[in-house]
Amino acid sequence: MNQKDQNISERPPVVAIMGHIDHGKSTLLSYIRKNTEALNEAGGITQHISAYEVLHLAKDGKKHFVTFIDTPGHEAFKGIRQRGASVADIVILVVSAEDGVKPQTLEALSSITTSKTPYIVAINKIDKPGASVEKTKQNLAENSIFVEGYGGDIPVVSISAKTGEGISELFDMIILVAELESLTGDPKALATGMVIESNRDIKKGISATCIIKNGTLEKGMFVTSGVSSSPVRIMENYLGKQIQKASFSSPVKIIGWDVLPEVGSSFETYSDRDEARESVEKEKTKKLEKTKKKTENIETTESVTIIPIIVKADTGSSLEAVLSQIEKLETDRVKAKVTSSGIGTISENDVRGANGNEKAIVVGFNVKVDSPAKNLAERDEIEVKTFDIIYKMSEWLKETLTTRTPKIKVLESVGQAKILKIFSKVKDKQILGGRVEKGSVTLGAQVKITRREAEIGEGKIRELQQMKKSVSEVREGTEFGALIEAKMEIAPGDKIESFIITEK
């Protein structure tokens, strides 16, 4: 056995909690943390990733540490959930015993299966009057989620996150699955893992929450994530307490990054500052090459109206979700383009960035607008809007883009007639007789003139008669007389098509 193998030891599991909105993921975490207070969420939806480390005392008296990640349930946070599954060793898929399988349940399952992460089904809300565990298991099977006892081997535990019933059994199942997975790590190695949250604070600067998947992180080391780096001077545990050292499966907050790390990116640790700098420089070169290729592939279309949007959010994961939603807001005539994005309060600089373009919008998610920014926006009539629920922001942006879509003039055919006879012609005015073959011909209508199916010009109906009486409209199958103003000479056998111009 070599030295490296001797260092390998068992590590605690990292567990992600996933499922549909309102199925009790946050209530479950609240109970696990011995907190009877509901998590403070806008509209009852978790909109950040949070990580907590808890201690479970098994039936055999052995102590087990478990790290929990809470992932948002809304569709807009799909990317975050996928990373929640990829950073987790085990996933708990929460399904309500009242509602059964819902769209976000299947979406979460897709993230789990894509990452090939083992999972446990937790049937929640068994304390509710309308709860049916058997019916829920049947519903799971109908959606190809085959739990134990229902044609499959996926572990299932019935719980009430509200009363705590079944929670101890759920923990035992987590420990059992973790043992089967043989989760190990090397405490002597330099820490590696994933960035699950990033934030910018006016006082503290840039911070990032990371999950250590292997190795040990100590003060005095240097961490890098893509083009971002930080000396490990200030490191906090999930309770916000400063720590000197952390090892695998632990969530840690590192404060002091030079650039906001990308949520979902991996991080590396170096004991030497120069090695860390070298890693960042390599990543910068890669990023530059990617950007160059992307710019070369951009096609510009003159017919598409671009609506510039400046976006601010409270955290990196929120910003990613907002940008993901904006990317979807595109039609064949209008497209939202993010010209600037960042973390933190909407400032005067953000509003100034929107100035000079009457279509520009400033959108904030879970952030405030400072007073100078408000004053400037009011003075220059710049639209600034803030939200704390993602789908409400999406709905508002969709509506705003619809109202700002430029109208285009469309020719709409209303009737077609065949010219039978020409009575007279004086300059550009021609008196003729014809028969309506389709639709109707109306007084004052613009007409296209065609000869042998080729358009030869346009004209306008100045007078219209039927049975020698002036009329405003002649319908299909009826003969008529008309005075048409047109520059070209109309001949018998020509056809006229009347049309109206509408804006769409």
pLDDT tens for 485-499 read 999 999 999 999 998
| Mean pLDDT calculated for residue range 175-194 | 93
CA distance 350 to 384: 10
Residue 84 is encoded by which pair of tokens?
């929640």
The answer, as to whether pTM is greater than 0.75, is no
- Kindly indicate the confidence band of residue 298, based on its pLDDT and cuts at 50, 70 and 90: very low
Cα separation, 267 vs 190, whole angstroms = 11
Which distant-in-sequence residues (6+ apart) come within 8 Å of 343 by Cβ? 198, 199, 200, 260, 312, 313, 314, 315, 316, 319
**Lowest mean pLDDT segment, chosen from 3-7, 243-247, 409-413, 438-442:** 3-7
Reported confidence tier of residue 315, pLDDT bands at 50, 70, 90: confident
Q: What is the pLDDT of residues 136-168, one digit of tens each?
A: 999 999 999 999 988 899 999 999 998 999 999
pLDDT at 419 over 80: yes
Which domains are assigned to the chain?
A: 8-183 (3.40.50.300), 192-283 (2.40.30.10), 305-403 (3.40.50.10050), 409-503 (2.40.30.10)
As a whole number of angstroms, the distance between CA 85 and CA 27 comes to: 20
State how far the Cα of 93 lies from the Cα of 90, in Å rounded to an integer.
10
**Residue 355 gets which letter from DSSP?**
T
For residue 100, give every residue at least 6 positions away whose Cβ sits within 8 Å of its Cβ, in sequence order, or none. 135, 136, 139, 140
481, containing H or E segment:
strand 479-486
Compute the distance between CA of residue 455 and CA of residue 494 in angstroms, rounded to an integer: 10
Alpha carbon distances (Å) from 156 to 33, 106, 239, 242: 22, 16, 31, 38
- Report residue 95 as tokens: 């399904």
DSSP assignment, residue 389?
Answer: S
Burial class, 76, CB count within 10 angstroms (exposed 0-12 / middle 13-18 / buried 19+): buried
State the residue for tokens 């000479």: 489
Indicate the pLDDT class of residue 297, thresholds 50, 70 and 90: very low
- How many whole angstroms from its chain centre is CA 220? 37
Report the C-alpha gap between 26 and 445 in whole angstroms: 65
